[in-house]
């Protein structure tokens, strides 16, 4: 005999499905953004290139932090000295600090010869550690300018702690996802290259 689905069970399942759809649509402001933004390294280590080293010489790229405005998938836009908005129809594929950490790791590997580790169990064994805060990856609407700023902290094998601010700006950027994304990628790569030269 055909089994009837009870109205109560049906309504519960339906409500759960609708809630999931609404939650997903809410993440994207009601629709999928027209542009998903990413950071790609200007320099990468060639295929087949190997790196080796001891725990004393290895560098771990770890724990890059970000303020609340960057701890989201949206692209922050400064509209005035005290106001912040987000760029329309644009979203990062991953949170900016994670994207920048990966870009930074790839750039240091490409520009140097030391063993660089990130997001592996080897992080805890490396004697040199690079951390810090991605304090800006913003678009300034009034200036038409993108800025990337990284406050780096380097801990050396002899337990010295060094800090340095790295910053890059790109001007003449229109408030549209593609130009902003290209400018941010360029600025982030410039900052990463500066950091790579600093850590050696």
pLDDT one-digit tens code per residue, 14-54: 333 333 333 333 333 445 566 789 999 997 766 545 555 56
**145-150 average pLDDT score:** 98
Domain residue spans in the chain?
32-45+53-199
| Residue 153 exposure: Cα atoms within 13 Å on the Cβ side | 11
3 state DSSP class of 169: strand
Output the CA angle 69-78-62, nearest 5 degrees: 35
**154-173 pLDDT, tens digit each:** 999 998 999 999 999 999 99
C-alpha R_g of the chain: 22
User: What pTM value is reported for the model?
Assistant: 0.79
Q: What is the pLDDT, as a whole number, of residue 85?
A: 92
> What does the DSSP 8-state code read for residue 132?
E
3 state DSSP class of 91: strand
Q: What is the pLDDT, as a whole number, of residue 131?
A: 96
| Domain 32-45+53-199 CATH class label | alpha beta
Whole-number Å distance between alpha carbons of 120 and 137: 26
CA max distance for the chain: 78
**79-122 pLDDT, tens digit each:** 876 788 999 999 999 999 999 999 999 999 898 778 888 876 56
Where is pLDDT greater, at 120 or 8? Answer: 120
* Non-local CB neighbours of 115 within 8 Å, separated by 6+ positions: 51, 52, 53, 57, 58, 59, 126
């Amino acid at each position: 005999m055909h089994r009837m689905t009870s109205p109560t069970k049906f309504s519960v399942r339906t409500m759960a499905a609708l809630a999931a759809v609404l939650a997903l649509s809410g993440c994207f402001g009601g629709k999928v953004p027209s542009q998903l933004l990413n950071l790609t390294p200007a320099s990468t280590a060639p295929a087949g290139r190997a790196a080796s080293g001891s725990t004393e010489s290895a560098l771990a790229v770890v724990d890059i932090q970000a303020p609340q405005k960057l701890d989201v998938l949206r692209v922050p836009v400064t509209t005035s000295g005290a106001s912040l908005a987000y760029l329309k129809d644009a979203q990062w594929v991953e949170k900016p600090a994670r994207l920048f950490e990966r870009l930074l790791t790839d750039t240091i590997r490409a520009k140097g010869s030391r063993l660089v580790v990130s997001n592996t169990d080897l992080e805890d064994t490396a004697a040199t550690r690079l951390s810090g805060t991605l304090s800006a990856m913003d678009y300034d609407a009034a200036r038409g300018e993108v800025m990337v700023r990284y406050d780096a902290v380097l801990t050396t094998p002899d337990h010295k702690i060094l800090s340095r601010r790295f910053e890059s700006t790109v001007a003449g950027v229109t408030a549209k996802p593609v130009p902003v994304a290209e400018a941010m990628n360029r600025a982030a790569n410039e900052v990463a290259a500066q950091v790579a030269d600093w850590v050696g």
